[in-house]
Chains A and B, each alone.
Chain A
Amino acid sequence: MPTVDRPSEIARGADSSEWLERLTSTGPERDAAIGELHALLVRAASFEIRRRSSGHLRADDHEDLAQQCADDALVAILGKLDDFRGASRFTTWAYKFALYEAAVKTRRLAWRAREMPIEADAWALIADARSGPQADAEIAELLTALKDAIATELTVHQREVLVALALNGVPIDVLADRLNTTRGALYKTLHDARQKLRAALAARGMALDDDRRQETT
């Protein structure tokens, strides 16, 4: 793959139609455009890895990971050029692929050696919140009803996904890997589970005061 050392100001400033024209051309012009795009993707991936890794990656590992993210993002971009609608600058559109690859890979790295939390951890979390000083009687009652609804209203899969993502803080991409599925499919399951819980709590006459909770820290 052709590469350039640094993303140039010219590359960042090039307009979207110019990018598309060069990337869909043939020969040296296309190779040069791919090299410039790859350099921009490395920069974006490196930016994201730096934000997420808290400096615990060695410099070599950081650079290798950024290159790998840029490679994967480049493949995705070149396969989706026809999807670019011009709703944003081409570079902004391209950046999101590199940021996505870097975010996903960084989350997976952080959880590589970690055990998945078990369901009992989530119940303990709810119990602690219910008995803590910040829970008034109304919130304590809501949390009790919520725990019951999680146990009785959800399918096994919905409960597994909701507990892992919403209570135990497992990143969605990590869970998707372990369950051999996708972020989108898991989020749909989570969304359906949340809807069921909201309906169950409403049926029990529980007020879900979203506005009040938004204001509380």
Chain B
Amino acid sequence: MSKPNPNHPDRLLDRVLGPAGSQVSCEQCFEELDRYVELELVGADPELVTPGMRAHFDGCPACAEEHESLRALLLSEASPPS
């Protein structure tokens, strides 16, 4: 599967305008990240507990990367070593 072109006009508009709607700050995102990821991994909807996190990930690549990393790290611990 090919990666989306980051300079596609729509992607460029997304980057400049960011997500619509309310979102948490970077500080709130860091504060809630551990609970958010654990809820995700048990199949719950963490947005019900911490609304605005997903929108923040859409607007803040750094926080989105750290979210992905924590998910990946916890998943790697849950998987048996190959």
- Please give the residue numbers on chain A whose beta carbons come within 8 Å of chain B beta carbons, in ascending order: 12, 44, 47-48, 51, 87-89, 92-93, 95-96, 99-100, 103, 107, 125-126, 128-130, 132, 134-135, 139-140, 142-143, 146, 150, 162, 166-167, 171-173, 183-184, 187-188, 190-191, 194, 197-198, 201, 208, 210, 212-214, 216-217
User: Does any Cβ of A come within 8 Å of B73's Cβ?
Assistant: yes
Q: Across the interface, do B73 and A187 meet the contact criterion of CB distance under 8 Å?
A: no
B34 is contacted by which of A96, A125, A130, A184 (Cβ under 8 Å)?
A96
* CB<8 Å pairs between A and B, sample of 30: A12-B77, A44-B73, A47-B73, A87-B35, A88-B37, A88-B38, A92-B37, A93-B34, A95-B73, A95-B74, A96-B66, A96-B70, A100-B30, A103-B66, A129-B7, A129-B9, A132-B9, A146-B13, A146-B16, A150-B16, A162-B16, A172-B62, A173-B62, A184-B26, A187-B25, A187-B59, A191-B18, A213-B13, A214-B14, A217-B8
Q: Across the interface, do A48 and B69 meet the contact criterion of CB distance under 8 Å?
A: yes
Q: Across the interface, do A96 and B35 meet the contact criterion of CB distance under 8 Å?
A: no
Q: Across the interface, do A143 and B60 meet the contact criterion of CB distance under 8 Å?
A: no
Specify which chain B residues have a CB less than 8 angstroms from the CB of A167 in the assembled complex: 12, 15-16
Specify which chain A residues have a CB less than 8 angstroms from the CB of B74 in the assembled complex: 92, 95
Return B60 CB to nearest CB of chain A, in Å: 6
Alpha-carbon separation in the docked complex, A47 to B25 (Å)? 26
Specify which chain A residues have a CB less than 8 angstroms from the CB of B20 in the assembled complex: 198, 208, 210
Q: Across the interface, do A198 and B12 meet the contact criterion of CB distance under 8 Å?
A: no
Specify which chain A residues have a CB less than 8 angstroms from the CB of B33 in the assembled complex: 96
